[in-house]
Chain A
Amino acid sequence: MTATLETRDLLMRFGRLTVANKISLAIERGVRQALIGPNGAGKTTLVNLLTGVLAPTGGRVILDDVDITGEPQHRRVARGLVRTFQVNQLFPGMSPLEATTLAIAQRQGATRRWWRSLASHGAAIEEAAALLDRLGLLDCAHEQTRNLPYGRQRLLEIGLALALEPSVLLLDEPAAGVPESESAELFATLAELPRTVTVLLIEHDMDLVFRFAERITVLVGGSILVEGSPAQISADPRVREVYLGEAQDG
């Protein structure tokens, strides 16, 4: 069994506050893994450390046996480590087709090219249209993104990541704000991803986590509390305590 994405003793401090406390994580290739934990457990910080938004105070991030700790975000994306955002990060004034074409052109290294018209990149546009079709977004391909209903924007958020052909996909609460009726559709799309794609899902909704994930990591207070199969996690008394405790506080 080989890990595709790994962290070793990952440490992040903001002043005296430790938000990631020596996290060592190994995600195996092709697996659907979930990262759960109460609010403030450091889940989003971990995503930011993995993707290069934040530079860690200590420790390493390793992707396919390459140390990428010092690499900027865009370099990691080029290696296939791609994320989506908890709060949509879209291009409000672009159409879904333009945005997806942009992502594909970037993947092909074409956004360097200023001397060739986009019109001569027909294959990229076609691929973008095919992806939108698969996501059920083709009928609004030419609308301005800001005019799309929230559920469709959420799909586009994921679509932009898929356009990059990730080898490791980090989904930061993909169903956040999506009505239940539409979240099923969203997870159906994710379930169709080929096994060549490794998925790390950060999610609050326990139903979704237990339906989707094969491995679950529980993060509490910046450290890993426990990791295991869904059955192990649901039976673990410490996990129950954390979640019951949180429920009582709230």
Chain B
Amino acid sequence: MRAASFAPNGAPPRYHAEVAHLRSLAAWRRTETVFWIAPVLLYFLLPRQLVLFSQIAVMGLFAISLDLILGYAGVISLGHAAFFGLGGYTAGILAQQGWGEPLSGLALGGLAAGVLGFATSFLVLRGSDLTRLMVTLGISLMLYELANKMRWLTGGADGLQGVEVWPLLGVWRFDLYGRTAYCYSIIVLFLSFLIIRRIVHSPFGLALRGIRENERRMPALGTPVARRLVAAYTIGAIFAGIAGALLTETTQFVSLDVLSFDRSAEALLVVVLGGAGTLYGGIVGALALIVAQYLLSGFTPQYWQFWMGIAFIALVFFARGGILGLVFRIASVLRRIVGAASGARGA
């Protein structure tokens, strides 16, 4: 038997300010519109770098899928490449076997990764952070060796040869300059981003944050914690699979490195670099990492990793919350200065 509601029933709606404030936290901002106009401009401004930017979009999507489970649900993973790679190989093998339709390849890549994510979530969600680290790592290593061993299917260490992806919607061929690949990557990234953004701003997303903030309290609020985490982990796996399939389709190639430990570690790095629990951090981190790699490897071809290492250490010590955390802090300082200046003028 339940007690009656404590809230006055049928009373006229009050607390407009509070409702509006909570709503505003999830509202679409002008800076976001600007952010998404940038890739359109890039297409025209830097047409020679489209391949690089497609790579960033793929890595960004992969990082966002990890951010959902790490930054929101608080589940640490060192094996997210398992899903990325499975998605990539699914799309690749389909295209090699004669089904090169890109959109269905993308969907099936996501589906395959989602099934694996759901199946392994029950292992991953037991135990502490350390257990999770080891289990996720273990699963991805197993998958890597499996792909290595099954040469007849995956091409083993040589990679999958003969991936032929059909024109997008039967119209746009994947051209040598990477124009189609770029537009395709950006659109898939944007649509996936919109879905994930909706998820993190839903009641489900709020519950995930609750689990990250205090996993012990959540069952006492009535939340079936394991079920929420299984769902989050599965959704994260689906989008990682889509990112992997996207890489295969835009490069018409897939090799073992999509399943490698490096790939998982890189995603973790990108999320932390950009700012965990922000979604945009995944894209910003991917952009920063690939651009820095590009610039540094031109500058000091042999030792660029050394400088990257220093940058990462400096970042976690001096800019907690990643690049976006830093940006938000600078913006709030600027706003205060501007506010004080205009206040002084008004007086």
Binding site for B on A (CB under 8 A): 4, 51-52, 64, 72-74, 77-78, 80, 82-83, 85, 89-94, 97-99, 101-103, 105-107, 110-119, 121-122, 124-134, 138, 141-142, 160, 162, 164-167, 194, 196-197
Contact A77 B18 (CB under 8 A): no
Chain A residues whose CB sits within 8 angstroms of the CB of B209 once the complex forms:
91, 93-94
Q: Are B220 and A89 in contact (CB under 8 A)?
A: yes
Contact B201 A89 (CB under 8 A): no
Q: Whole-angstrom distance from the CB of B78 to the nearest CB of chain A?
A: 24
B220 touches A118 (CB 8 A): no
Besides A105-B203, A117-B26, 12 new A-B residue pairs in contact (Cβ under 8 A), listed by A number: A83-B220, A89-B220, A102-B206, A111-B204, A111-B206, A115-B202, A117-B202, A118-B205, A118-B206, A122-B23, A160-B217, A197-B3
Cα(A128)–Cα(B19), bound, Å: 9
Main SS of chain B's interface residues?
helix
Contact with A along B1-43 (1 / 0, CB 8 A): 1111111100001110011011100110000000000000000
The docked-state distance in angstroms from the alpha carbon of A173 to that of B204 is 31
Cα A162 to Cα B219 with chains together (Å): 15
Interface with A: B150-158, B184-192, B221-229, which one?
B221-229
Partner of A126 from B15, B205, B221 at Cβ < 8 Å = B15
* Residue pair B219, A73 in contact (C-beta under 8 Å): yes
- Given known pairs A92-B213, A117-B201, A167-B2, the reply for A105 and B206 (CB within 8 Å) is yes
Q: Is B210 engaged at the interface, CB distance under 8 Å to the other chain? A: yes
* In contact, B223 and A165 (Cβ under 8 angstroms): no
A54 to chain B, nearest CB (A): 13
Given the complex, which residues of B lie within 8 Å of A64, measured CB to CB? 1
* In the complex, residue of chain B having the shortest beta-carbon distance to the beta carbon of A146: B213
Q: What are 17 A-B contacts defined by CB distance under 8 Å?
A: A74-B223, A78-B222, A89-B220, A92-B213, A97-B21, A103-B221, A111-B203, A114-B202, A118-B22, A118-B201, A124-B203, A125-B23, A126-B19, A130-B14, A134-B6, A142-B18, A165-B6
| Cβ of B336 under 8 Å from chain A | no
